[in-house]
Amino acid sequence: MQKIEVYTKGYCPYCHAAKKLLKQLGWNYTEYSIDNNFRKREEMIRRSSRRTVPQIFIGDEHIGGYDDFSAYIRSLAKLA
């Protein structure tokens, strides 16, 4: 499995939903909280061209936010 990175904020319900889905899938991920981390926030914006959270990356591919991620998972299920 490729490296999974998730940029989050503590109070974000979509962040919690994305992390819950990742755990249900049994996928390990690295979480970067941008609550008080200006550098990580700027890194997220640079990498994704978005300012909202969560932002999810699998390997070098930017998946997007929670809705994008759940659509990505559904598309994988259709391929199986």
User: Quick one: fold of 4-79?
Assistant: Glutaredoxin (3.40.30)
Kindly report whether the global pTM for this prediction surpasses the value 0.85: yes
CB neighbour list of residue 70: distance below 8 Å, 6 or more residues apart: 21
- Residue boundaries of the structural domains of the chain: 4-79
pLDDT at 80: 65
Task: Return the pLDDT at 51.
Answer: 97
Taking the chain (80 residues) in runs of 10, the rounded mean pLDDT of each run is 95 97 97 97 98 97 98 87
**pLDDT value at position 77?**
85
- The predicted-structure confidence for 1-21, as pLDDT tens digits, reads as follows 799 999 999 999 999 999 999
